[in-house]
Amino acid sequence: MCLAVPGRIVSIEGDDADVDFGGVIRRTNLTMVEAEVGDWVLIHAGFAIEKVDEEEAQRTLELWKEVLQHEETSFR
What is residue 3's predicted lDDT score, i.e. its pLDDT?
Answer: 83
What is residue 64's predicted lDDT score, i.e. its pLDDT?
Answer: 83
Q: How many domains does the structure of the chain reveal?
A: 1
Cα–Cα distances (Å) from 72 to 1, 48, 65, in that order, read 21, 28, 10
Domain with 13, as residue range(s), is 5-74
Rounded Cα gap, residues 68 and 61, in angstroms:
11
CATH number at residue 36: 2.30.30.140
Each residue of 12-32: pLDDT tens digit?
999 999 999 989 999 999 999
Residue 66 has pLDDT above 90, yes or no: no
pTM to 2 decimals? 0.83
Rounded Cα gap, residues 24 and 44, in angstroms:
16
Strand partners, 50: 42
Rounded Cα gap, residues 24 and 33, in angstroms:
21
